[in-house]
Amino acid sequence: MNVMRRPLGLSKFRFYSTQTTRPFVPPASLNHFDFRQRQREKPRPTSPAFYTARPEFYDQLSSLESALQHAKTALTTCHLLPLPQFAREALPPRINAWVDKRELGLKLRSTLTTSRYRRVVLVLNELETYRSIAEKAGIAELQEGIRGITELFERADAATMLARGKAKPVKFDEYGRSYTLGKRKTSSARVWIVPVQQPPADKPTSQSISAATETDTALMALLDPNSSSKSNEPVSVAQILVNNTPLSTYFPIPADRTRVIHPIKLAGLLGAYNIFAIVRGGGTSGQSGALAHGIAKGLAAHEPDVATILRKAKLLRRDPRMVERKKPGLAKARKRYAWVKR
């Protein structure tokens, strides 16, 4: 029986205008009703953000903030927070690559405005900072826990984005070949470098030569400079193929050949690596310069110690000089027309 309901005739909303007081009901007749249950008839909202405009968003945000709070307390218990200024500066600077606004909106199941997106990103940045502190401190569990959260919000191509502007490491294939690209003016050279396979040395024969005879031959060589003492060790020789022709056939001019060999000579790797290259575009000197650039990059990949020498010799640098454009009023890029007095 719904006696507590408003009697008919009285409107639900116009409470103030019609009846200000409730009709009197004697308490004894209300004994068998349970008022607490009535109060709980409407279910309690699941989340505190129920009455907000975007409950899902605020739910996610609050869970992130709670995770942040947990991380903060964990770090504080480990005496890592608050971090002194010098320690904060010692942390590696991190550029974060979070998903964009649209993607984040999809993840959080609600369209985001810029201010809401910024709010989420702020929390994520803080989380990332705590993660880096934990990583530096060596707390693996905490670090992995935070990582588990932050990686959900990281871009798919985060690695590429972060590596923008940095030199890509040269990859080697299953045969140990490096693949590099060299450029000069309008020419480009694709260079594959592979170490020369040394023939297996005959170890038993070399061991059979006694020490005495070795010193004798060395002494003879010292005393008589004219004697040519050719050792039996085979000299490895590098093959250089450009567009499937030997280097001497492709570049008939000695200057071009020298330019190509120069990086190998400086590195001291003259008989060590075989080179195969495909060059395209430009003329002879451009192609030889591009090839030299590609070879230098490949050698630096194979032997990192050599990279310093090649960098000093400016062989790892792509020569930025290009053909200058012709300007109006000038005959060529710089050449002026003959000056006429009148």
Partner 1 sequence: MLSVRCQRVSYQLLASSSTSPLVQTRSYATQPKKGQIVKQASQGFKGKKTAPSGQMEPAKKDKKMMAFQPLPVSQLPHPLFESDRPDTLTLQTFHPEMLTRVVESQALKFPHNDDDPFRIFGLPRNILVEFRLLSKPCSVIRSVTIDAINKLDAASEKNSKESRVVFTGPQGCGKSFLLLQALQYCNARDWLVLYIPRATNLVNSTTAHTYDMRTRTYLQPIFAYQTLQRFLKVNTPRLEQLRTQTEIEIERRPPVPPGTPLVELINIGLKDQGHAPTVLDAVLEEIGKQTIFPVLLAVDDFQALYCKSHYRDQHFSAIKPYHLSMPRLLLEYASGQKSFARGAVFGALSMSNTTFPLPVELREALSLKYDRPYGPYVKRQPELVEYAHGLESLAVPSSLSVSEAASVFEVWMKDRAVPSKPNDELFLAKYSEASGNARAFVWKGLLSSMS
Q: Can you give the binding site for partner 1, defined by CB under 8 A?
A: 226, 228, 230, 234-235, 237-240, 246-249, 254, 257-258, 260-261, 264-265, 268, 270-271
Specify which residues 241 forms β-bridges with. Answer: 246, 276
Nearer to partner 1, 132 or 236 (CB): 236
Provide, rounded to whole angstroms, the least separation between the CB of residue 97 and partner 1. 46
| 258: amino acid identity, one letter | T
Cβ 230 to partner 1, closest distance in Å? 7
Residue type, 28: A
Compute the least distance from the CB of residue 221 to partner 1, in Å: 14
Residue number with CB closer to partner 1 (207 or 232): 232
* Alpha-carbon distances, residue 324 vs 91, 321, 333, 336 (angstroms): 45, 8, 6, 14
Q: Phi and psi for 205 in degrees, rounded to 5? A: -65, -40
Q: For partner 1, which is the closer residue by CB, 30 or 221?
A: 221
CA-CA distance, 40 to 290, in Å (whole number)?
80
Distance from chain centroid for Cα 124: 19
To partner 1, the closest distance from the beta carbon of 231 in angstroms equals 11
Rounded to 10 degrees, the C-alpha dihedral 288/290/294/295 comes to 20
Smaller CB separation from partner 1, 63 or 227: 227
Nearer to partner 1, 57 or 273 (CB): 273
CA distance 261 to 268: 11
CA angle 298, 303, 308 (to 5 degrees): 90
CB 243 within 8 A of CB 188: no
Smallest gap, in angstroms, from Cβ of residue 266 to partner 1? 10
Cβ-Cβ contacts under 8 Å for 125 (sequence gap 6 or more): 96
Of 105 and 298, which has the nearer Cβ to partner 1? 298
| CB nearer partner 1, residue 63 or residue 243 | 243
CB of 258 to partner 1, least distance (A): 7
Closest of 71, 39, 205 to residue 139, by C-alpha: 71
Amino acid at position 225, single letter: P
Q: Tokens 């990279």 — which residue?
A: 307
Q: Which is nearer to partner 1, 4 or 270 (CB)?
A: 270
Query: Closest approach of Cβ 248 to partner 1, in Å?
Result: 4
Question: Which residues does residue 172 pair with via DSSP β-bridges, in sequence order?
Answer: 178
The residues, ordered by sequence, that sit 6+ positions from 98 with a Cβ below 8 Å of its Cβ are 104, 121, 124, 153, 154, 155
Measure the CA–CA gap between 181 and 285, rounded to whole angstroms: 17
Report the residue number, 76 or 249, with the smaller CB distance to partner 1: 249
Q: Least separation, in Å, of the C-beta of 261 and partner 1?
A: 5
Structure tokens at 247: 């280097």
* Closest separation in Å from C-beta 226 to partner 1: 6
